[in-house]
A and B are shown apart, each in its own frame.
Chain A
């Protein structure tokens, strides 16, 4: 069965510090991988996605993620966070069989930024 694990429920970092949010997935076929961000009371905004090709993916707002098949991971990184990055971050997996519409989401990581 497909599953996504985000081990960190809540992370706090200082403004300007680097960030890494972890995501591990379980999927029996070629995965499509996504990171979404959700600000309070808002919908989900796509940060980046991986379908194939280069395993280091660049996204919006200065985020990047690296797909590591051997570790079944797709960690999200940002070299220097801004106060506006405070939000909830969701990793999701879809696949070639079911497509991107039937995504399986992790439970999310809440990011707090200290000034």
Chain B
């Protein structure tokens, strides 16, 4: 029973390039969340999605960042024109349903380095 799968594990981009981070939720899970962990900090909520819907994107930077969770395929977090401050670990989590009374299952993260 595979857990939350994220790829790539490590991603290096030069300033100005685009970064695409992928997340496949656990089997049977229809809710996906993205969190960002800056160096020496805890995780911070970015966005919550269901299939084909963005439910809550209050933690997403207003520019350059976007997320999607299509009907088929993984969830994608896209960062356009990356800057050094985007260097961080990006974690995806999933849950089977409305998570008010459930817990999140986290992937191993994608570590983005912007040079």
A contacts, CB < 8 Å to B:
4, 34, 36, 41-46, 49, 51, 90, 92, 96, 99-108
Contact = CB atoms under 8 A, between A and B. Distances in A.
Contacts of A96: 100
Contacts of B98: 99
Interface of B: 4, 31, 33, 35, 40-45, 48, 56, 59, 91, 93, 95, 98-109
A99 B99 contact: yes
B43 A105 contact: yes
B4 A101 contact: no
Given A41-B108, A101-B95, A4 B4 contact: no
Contacts of B44: 105
Nearest to B107: A43
Q: Is the interface of A mostly helix, strand, loop or mixed?
A: strand
B103 A43 contact: no
Contacts of A108: 41-42
Nearest to A6: B42
B103 A34 contact: yes
Contacts of B104: 46, 100-101, 103
A27 to B, nearest CB: 14
Nearest to A44: B106
A10 to B, nearest CB: 11
Q: Which 9 A-B pairs rank lowest in CB-CB distance, beginning with the nearest?
A: A105-B42, A99-B100, A43-B108, A43-B106, A44-B106, A101-B99, A100-B99, A105-B43, A107-B42
A43 B45 contact: no
Nearest to A4: B42
A97 B83 CA distance: 34
Nearest to A91: B42
Contact of A107 (B35, B41, B59): B41
Nearest to A96: B100
A101 B50 CA distance: 12
Contacts of A36: 106
12 contacts: A42-B108, A46-B105, A92-B42, A100-B102, A101-B45, A102-B45, A102-B59, A104-B45, A105-B42, A106-B42, A107-B40, A108-B41
